[in-house]
Structures are given as structure tokens and as C-alpha cells.
Amino acid sequence: MQRRIRKVAVIGSGIMGGGIAALLAGAGVEVLLLDIVPFDLTDDQKKDPKARNRMVQAGFDAALKSKPPLFYDKKNDAPMISIGNLDDDFNKLADCDWIIEVVVENLKIKQQLFKRIEGVRKAGSIVSSNTSGIPLKDMSADLNKEMRQHFLGTHFFNPVRYMHLLELIPGEETLPEVLDFVANYGEVMLGKGIVWAKDTPNFIGNRIGIHGIGKAMQIMLEDGLTIPEVDAIFGAPMGRPKTAIFKTSDLVGLDTMSHVSSNTYDLCVDDEERDTFIVPDFVKKMVENKQLGNKTKGGFYKKELTPDWKWLRKVIDPKTGEYVDLDKPTFPCLDAAKQCATTAEKLQTIVYGDDKGAKFAWKVAAAAAIYSANRIPEISDTIVEIDNAMKWGYNFEMGPFETWDAIGVEKSVAKMEADGMAVPANVKKMLASGATAFYKLENGKKMFFDFASNGYKPMQTSEKAIVLADLRAAGKVVKSVPSCSLIDLGDGVYCIEFHSKMNALNGEMLDFMKEAGEYVKENGVGMVIGNQAGGMPGAFSAGGDLSYMLGLAKAGKFDEIDTFIKGVHEGIMGTKYAPYPVVAAPYGLALGGGCEICLSADRIVAHADLFMGLVEIGAGLVPGGGGMIHLWRNFIESKPGVGKITDLAGFFIQAFMSVAQAKVSSSAADARNNGFLRPTDRIVANKDNLIGEAKKEVLKMVDDGYAPPRKTKTAVFGREALGMIWAEMLNMKSGGYITPHMEFIAKKIAVCMAGGDVPQGTLVSEEHLMTLEREAFVDLWRTENTQKMAENIMKTGKPLFL
């Protein structure tokens, strides 16, 4: 029988339940969100359905309001969710294909709930718990066999939409068919990275994660470091998120963190590092004082408003428990790491340094490595699961074993032994076998070291999950320049991969794209434009490198800017009209030039978390790579040919505002709603599969019979748009809503998008529109204000409104 998920019940409407409900709604599933009837109702309220649903309504409303948004597409996804309470709506669980429990972490409550579910659920339905700490076997012991066969742990991470990790915990009797199904569903429909965990306390991510936090605090107190010092080390320099250790704790909440910690202490009696899970006294005191982090507007860090309205950043001094002024600490090892190109080099520089910070970093990193290795096979069978859990659930750039590889296993083990640390037996055994790294490439295939068999095994990955770094290591790079490469994806499909800072576009890339295009024309069937930069959300391409043009502008070489933009247009249009299909695979930030590259592709295969927009106005410019042309075409051409648009303004105003206000989408669904994605463009839930899906799309287009787009003319709004915009600009100017140069740029945008001074409905060529775009672009560079704005955004990353 084909298993399908059409309706899911999520029981518990807290931050996790709400997030899971929003994610499922985004996958197009009907969701029933339930919570308890409040205990404190009056007799009258007990009869009022609204009062009875007060808890769940509050949870649902919080999910709707959350920032960053939990919903991909609030307008269309939220109606997929219906709410109810556990007294009046419990029987509705009988219709559900999957029931997810996300209630309070209390074994007794969970046991009672599952017993009730047992009574109403339909046979064959999946039941899972999102518990982060309670053993599944204790929850399911009293349930009937059929239910135990359909019971598992599905542990999502907060915020659900953005955290890639989904830990799946099989029960002893869970049917393999059920496990396979949930894993595939989680990967394809919910976009998650699946990690198989065992039924041990706090599973993988939180067990390793909380140990790392506990250890860092312990050593910090022993060695007398400050909180900002610890965060300066264990942030970006070590390949960790910017929130490092203590800001992450503020984000999670000190209460939650302490709970996970003491839960581990209580349940893991044999853990060799059990002491690490004792919450330090100064943290205990903070929890008592309700200094819980961001949710109480003050945790380890706090912002205070001074009498003269300035924000003062403060931090807890663990010794006194008082807030003190925050300074920006550094260590020689961190200064040295700044000069390193790769994270691996940075890691080596830091952990093998000899200042106080470096010694701290070494102790904590070594402890994490040892602890992780000792957890196999206790919490996981392989190192891969642990590395993935930390990358996907804690946003580490590298997991503990990848980090270990980066600092050199032999070298670090020698240092551990010299320092009197207990090196895990399995690692010693690995080194004894002659293997010196946890991961290696063999014939282009990525292998990991398997402790159980004391040898390498190939990584199990989905066929769609193409990893460009692996292809690169396997020698699949066809051509390369410092900022850009052409990689052979197989089957005649080639990928243009950007790898500049934030993947910002530059002249070198544009030249390279022409060259790569020639290569694909000769040797391939199609092209993917995609990359896999790290970070959350990461940057497909965050814009264009302005320094080159700013230099030209300052030297008064406007003719050269004109020539440069001509080249950009040739490149963009060359790709657009190439005799092979081009599919762009954007994710995360796709701004300015990065957005324009996508808009000119035959098709876009986008990750669901897409932040796309034409934001050039913030740099004092109009989009110069055909972005306005293609956005307008998306608007005006997504209708049946026989449909007549009487009111072009209804389309023009929205398209114009997108560019003039530098609107950025909040998701791929939002980008579709804003006209950036066309009906034929696809949205992929799983970022790991993006390049693979884009490749599939290329092959399908080839298979279907590909012909490049025809060069057709476009209807424009013309002079009528100019009348409207000029009149409206007077209102905005009078109201003080627009600064003079912004008004100047907005009017340029209007001219470009309206097709200039022609009657409305005139059919104009792309060449006409490109000329307008180029003129506007060069005109703006001629102004001192645009030069100032461009310079400011390059220096500060923030727009200057002139």
C-alpha cells in the first residue's frame, strides 16, 4: 500500500509545535494543531469554544508573528492549519496519517497522552515524539504492538524552518518501512537533513552540544577567562556560528539549556564526563533570577538604554554575577587566524597557538573531539551522524571529526597524550591501522572511517545530493579562475560555481561565464548556475562587486562603465539565448546581480529559503544586468496570450515598487508571489538536493526538446507610467518620505521599467530596454551622490540614503 501523508496532527502548540505545524503546512499538508484546555477557566468560559482553544490560539498566533518568519507563505500556508483542544477535538486524530507529540517534557504526561492516542488513532498511522530528552522506550512501553511498530522519535530543532537537522530515533520495534518513509518524507518534503540517532538521553545534537557548552564554561571558570573572550574564540574563527557559546545560550534560553544539562546528568550516570553536565553556580543563580536570555531581555548578555538614549552592551561577570561593560577582546592567535584563508588553517593557528586563548581553545576542542569519539557506538554508529548533527543542528561549519581532521589527527593525538588526556581507544586503533584521517576521497567517492569495522566505508548520500566540494576534490573542475569554476556534474551538465566573498559578482566572473558558455556549447547539453556556500541562510550571490566601477567613476572614465555594462548585457543575454538550457539554483541571499543572473536563466530551481531582490538602489544604482527587464517580463507575460491587460498600472506599480524599495523576498514562495519566480520555476525543500534537482531539470529540458527563447518584444507602460511616478514622487517628497537622490534614482528606475517615453502598450525590443538601463546606470555613476552611496555600502555594508 502506498503510504501518504495528507493530514498531520501536531499536539502541543509551543514554539516547536508551532514551527513544525508551519513547516508541514508549507509542504502542503493539512495540519491539526492541538493543545490543552486552559486549567483556569470560569464556568462560563468552560462553555465557550474560544476560551477552550485559548492556549492553542496563542501558540498559533505566536507562530504567525514569529521573526524570522516560521511560515514560508503565511497567506497560503496558515489556512492549512486548523486548531483545537485535547478535550473536544481528540477524536479528529482518527483521520490523521501522522501524529506528532510536542508536549511538555514530562514522562507521565506523555505516557497518558500516547495511551489516549492509542484509543483513537487509525491503524497504520505514524506516531512520533519530538522529545529532546525522554527515552522513547519509557514512553511506548505500555502501548500495543501495532502502535509500537509505528512509533518513533522525530526530533526537530529550533527554529524549525531554518534548522536543517531532523534526528530520527527508531524504537526497538519500529517497522523499517515506517523509518524509510519518514526519512524520505523528512528529506524531500520537509527539506531536512536526516541523522539517525539511538534512544539515548538528548540523542546526538544536544548531547554533544550541551557537553561542548558545559566544558567551555568549566574551563572558562578554571582558567579565568571572560564570557566575551570565550565567544571571541568559539565564533567565526573556529568555524562556529557568530553567536558562539554564550550568545547561543541566550538565544536558546538558559532555562532550557540548564534543563537539558541536568537531564543528561541525571540519566547518563556512567558518562565519563558527567561532571560537565553540572550547571555552574553562577548560571543556576541567573536562572533563579529569571535572567534567561533573549526571552527575558537579558541573559549572559544584555543591552541597557542610557539616559541619553544610547544602547550600552553589558555582559555577566561569572565571578560576581553582575553585569559589566562589554569590551571586544582578542588574542594573538585570533589576530593570526585572521590572515588565514581557510577554516582549517584558522583552526590550526588557534588550537596550536600558545597564548591564553589558544590554550583554552585547545582544551575545549580536544575535549569535544575525545567526547565525541567516546560516544560511538553509544549514541551513534558512525562519525558521520555526529558531524552532521553538529553542522545541521548547531550550525557548525565542521563537525567534531571534520574539525579533528582539520587540525591533524596524528598531531593532535600526540598533543593530547602529552597533555595527559585520555585518547579514545577507537581513535588509537584507527591510527594503528595506518589511517590518519576520519574522512578521505577514494576514486572521487567520499569515504568515512568506520570504528566498528576499523576501516573506511563509502558515505551514503542521496543521488540528488550533489556535493560540489567532493566533485572538486575528485578532479571534476573543467575550468577555474579565483572567483569562479566550471564543474562537470556528469551527463553533459556543467555547473558554474561562484566562490568569491559572499559570492558577489565581479568582472572576472562575467568573463569566465562567457568562456564557460563556449565550453558547454561545445561539450555539454546544459548548464546549472549554482553553489554551496555555507552559513545560515548562506549566499547564492549577495550582489555585485562595486569597487571596479567606483574606481572608473572616480577617474571620470564613464565611457568605460558604459562599455562594461554593454559587456554585462552581452554576457547575460548570451546565457539567456544560448542553445542549451540554463537553470539557476539560488538559495539564501540572491541579491542585486545575483538575482539578475537568476532572472535571465531559462528556469529557476530555488531552495525554499530564498531571499531574493533587486536591491541596487541601496548602492545608489539601478540594476545593470537586465534585472528590471526580466522582472517586468515576468509580470507582463505570465498570462494567457489572449488575455488583455487594460490597466498596465496594476502590474507596473508592483514591479516598480519591488525595485524602488529594494524589496527582498522572505522565502521562495514569497519570491513567486512578488513575480521574481515564474510559474514554471520550481521550489525545492531540501537545500542539499538543490544542485541535483537543477541538474535533473536541465536533463528534463533537454529530453523534452530544448529550443532557446525567441527574441520577442515586450509591451510596456511607457509615458503613462512616467506621469504617474512623477506625480507620486511629489507627494513622497512633500511628505519627507524620500530623499532627493533616492527620488532621482527611483525616477530612473521608472524610466527603465516603463520602457521610456512611448505610448502605453508599445511593443519594445530588449535592446531598447537595455539601452535605457545602460544610460540610467552610467548617468547615476556620474553623480557624486551615487559614488558616495556605493562607497558607503562597500565600507559598511549598509545603505546611505542621500
Partner 1 sequence: MKEAYIVSSVRTPGCRRGKGAFGQTRPEELLVQALNGVMERAGVGKEAVEDVMTGCAFPEAEQGLNIGRVAAQMAKFPDSACGATVNRFCSAGLEAISLQAMRIKAGWCEVAIGSGLESMSIVPMGGNMPRPHPEWAKECPDVYMSMGVTAENVATRYKVTREMQDEFAYHSHMKAANATKNGLFKEIVPTQAARYVEKGSTWVKETFTQTFDDGVRDTTTIEGLAKLRPVFSATGSVTAGNSSQTTDGAAATLLMSGDAVKKYGVKPIAKVIAYAVAGCRADEMGVGPAYAVPKALAMAGLKVEDIGLWELNEAFASQCIYAMQQLGLYDKKELWVSDSDKRIININGGAIALGHPLGCTGAKLCAQLMTGMQEKGAKYGVESMCIGGGMGAAAIFELCE
Query: What residues are labeled active site?
Result: 596, 616
What is the smallest separation between the CB atom of 732 and partner 1, expressed in angstroms? 9
What is the smallest separation between the CB atom of 739 and partner 1, expressed in angstroms? 11
Comparing CB distances to partner 1, the nearer of 579 and 759 is 759
Pick the binder of partner 1 from 461, 719, 739, 799 (CB under 8 A).
719
**Contact pattern for partner 1 over residues 751 through 770, marking x by CB under 8 A:** ------x-------------
Comparing CB distances to partner 1, the nearer of 459 and 649 is 649
Mark the segment that binds partner 1 (CB under 8 A) among 23-31, 128-136, 190-198, 719-727: 719-727
Comparing CB distances to partner 1, the nearer of 588 and 756 is 756
Pick the binder of partner 1 from 75, 94, 579, 726 (CB under 8 A).
726
Bridge partners, 475 (sequence order): none
Mark the segment that binds partner 1 (CB under 8 A) among 397-405, 459-467, 611-619, 727-735: 727-735
Q: Does 735 bind partner 1 (CB under 8 A)?
A: yes
Mark the segment that binds partner 1 (CB under 8 A) among 348-356, 383-391, 708-716, 734-742: 734-742
Question: DSSP states of 671-736 as a string?
Answer: HHHTTSS-TT-EEES-GGGHHHHHHHHHHHHHHH---PPP---EE--THHHHHHHHHHHHHHHHTT
Pick the binder of partner 1 from 722, 775, 783, 799 (CB under 8 A).
722
- Interatomic CA distance for residues 532 and 497, integer angstroms: 8
What is the smallest separation between the CB atom of 722 and partner 1, expressed in angstroms? 4
Q: Does 779 bind partner 1 (CB under 8 A)?
A: no
Pairing of strands 311-317, 301-305: antiparallel
Contact 561, 549 (CB under 8 A): yes
**Contact pattern for partner 1 over residues 246 through 275, marking x by CB under 8 A:** ------------------------------
Q: Does 640 bind partner 1 (CB under 8 A)?
A: no
What is the smallest separation between the CB atom of 756 and partner 1, expressed in angstroms? 11
Comparing CB distances to partner 1, the nearer of 272 and 647 is 647
Comparing CB distances to partner 1, the nearer of 78 and 732 is 732
Sheet with 126-129: strands ordered across: 81-85, 30-35, 7-11, 98-101, 126-129, 151-156, 165-170, 193-196
What is the smallest separation between the CB atom of 511 and partner 1, expressed in angstroms? 40
Please name which of 241, 94, 215, 46 lies closest in space to residue 163, comparing C-alpha atoms.
241
Q: Does 645 bind partner 1 (CB under 8 A)?
A: no
Pick the binder of partner 1 from 146, 720, 775, 779 (CB under 8 A).
720
**Contact pattern for partner 1 over residues 420 through 439, marking x by CB under 8 A:** --------------------
Bridge partners, 100 (sequence order): 10, 128
Look at residue 58 and give its three-state secondary structure.
Answer: helix
What is the smallest separation between the CB atom of 209 and partner 1, expressed in angstroms? 45
What is the smallest separation between the CB atom of 502 and partner 1, expressed in angstroms? 33
Q: Does 644 bind partner 1 (CB under 8 A)?
A: no
Comparing CB distances to partner 1, the nearer of 707 and 727 is 727
CA–centroid distance for 791 within its chain: 29
What is the smallest separation between the CB atom of 750 and partner 1, expressed in angstroms? 10
What is the smallest separation between the CB atom of 727 and partner 1, expressed in angstroms? 4
- Would you put residue 765 in left (φ > 0), alpha (ψ -120 to 50) or beta? beta
Pick the binder of partner 1 from 49, 420, 643, 736 (CB under 8 A).
736
Mark the segment that binds partner 1 (CB under 8 A) among 121-129, 373-381, 564-572, 721-729: 721-729
Kind and range of the H or E run holding 290:
none
E-strand stretches of 380-492: 439-442, 445-450, 455-458, 477-481, 484-490
Pairing of strands 165-170, 7-11: unpaired
Sheet with 301-305: strands ordered across: 301-305, 311-317, 322-325
Angstrom CA distances, 181 to 184, 187, 193, 465, stand at 5, 10, 14, 18
Q: Does 801 bind partner 1 (CB under 8 A)?
A: no
Comparing CB distances to partner 1, the nearer of 262 and 760 is 760
Look at residue 154 and give its three-state secondary structure.
Answer: strand
Mark the segment that binds partner 1 (CB under 8 A) among 336-344, 575-583, 706-714, 715-723: 715-723
Query: Count residues contacting partner 1 (CB under 8 A)?
Result: 18
Joined together, the cell numbers standing for residue 47 give 462553555
- Interatomic CA distance for residues 505 and 496, integer angstroms: 12
What is the smallest separation between the CB atom of 74 and partner 1, expressed in angstroms? 21
Q: Does 469 bind partner 1 (CB under 8 A)?
A: no
Long-range own/partner contacts, residues 176-179 (CB < 8 A, 24 or more apart): 177/3, 178/126, 178/149, 178/150, 178/152, 179/152
State the virtual CA torsion across 579, 583, 589, 591 in degrees, nearest 10.
30
Pick the binder of partner 1 from 723, 740, 765, 794 (CB under 8 A).
723
Comparing CB distances to partner 1, the nearer of 679 and 735 is 735
Pick the binder of partner 1 from 50, 643, 727, 798 (CB under 8 A).
727
Total Cβ atoms within 10 A of residue 138: 13
> Which residues in the 656-685 window bind partner 1 by CB under 8 A?
none
Mark the segment that binds partner 1 (CB under 8 A) among 190-198, 506-514, 633-641, 731-739: 731-739
Comparing CB distances to partner 1, the nearer of 443 and 734 is 734
Comparing CB distances to partner 1, the nearer of 339 and 734 is 734
Comparing CB distances to partner 1, the nearer of 58 and 722 is 722
* Amino acid in position 256: T
**Residue 469 contacts by C-beta under 8 Å, 6 or more apart in sequence?**
532
Pairing of strands 477-481, 311-317: unpaired
Mark the segment that binds partner 1 (CB under 8 A) among 380-388, 659-667, 732-740, 762-770: 732-740
Q: Does 730 bind partner 1 (CB under 8 A)?
A: yes
Pairing of strands 165-170, 151-156: antiparallel
- Interatomic CA distance for residues 742 and 733, integer angstroms: 10
Q: Does 649 bind partner 1 (CB under 8 A)?
A: yes
Pick the binder of partner 1 from 570, 647, 767, 784 (CB under 8 A).
647
What is the smallest separation between the CB atom of 737 and partner 1, expressed in angstroms? 6
Comparing CB distances to partner 1, the nearer of 381 and 728 is 728
**Residue 683 contacts by C-beta under 8 Å, 6 or more apart in sequence?**
606, 607, 608, 610, 668, 669, 672, 677
Question: DSSP states of 608-659 as a string?
Answer: SSEEEE--GGGGT----SSHHHHHHHHHHHSS-TT---S-THHHHHHHHHHH
Contact 592, 617 (CB under 8 A): no
What is the smallest separation between the CB atom of 780 and partner 1, expressed in angstroms? 19
Mark the segment that binds partner 1 (CB under 8 A) among 53-61, 325-333, 665-673, 720-728: 720-728
Which residue do the cell numbers 535572567 mark? 291
Kind and range of the H or E run holding 357:
helix 356-374
Contact 575, 630 (CB under 8 A): no
Exposure string of 582-591, with b = 16+ CB inside 10 Å and e = fewer, is bbbbbbbbbb
Please name which of 198, 211, 201 lies closest in space to residue 376, comparing C-alpha atoms.
198
Please name which of 132, 33, 143, 16 lies closest in space to residue 81, comparing C-alpha atoms.
33
Please name which of 562, 559, 561 lies closest in space to residue 549, comparing C-alpha atoms.
561
What is the smallest separation between the CB atom of 751 and partner 1, expressed in angstroms? 11
Mark the segment that binds partner 1 (CB under 8 A) among 4-12, 628-636, 642-650, 694-702: 642-650
Comparing CB distances to partner 1, the nearer of 127 and 725 is 725
Which residues are at the interface with partner 1 (CB under 8 A)?
646-647, 649, 719-720, 722-724, 726-727, 729-731, 734-737, 757
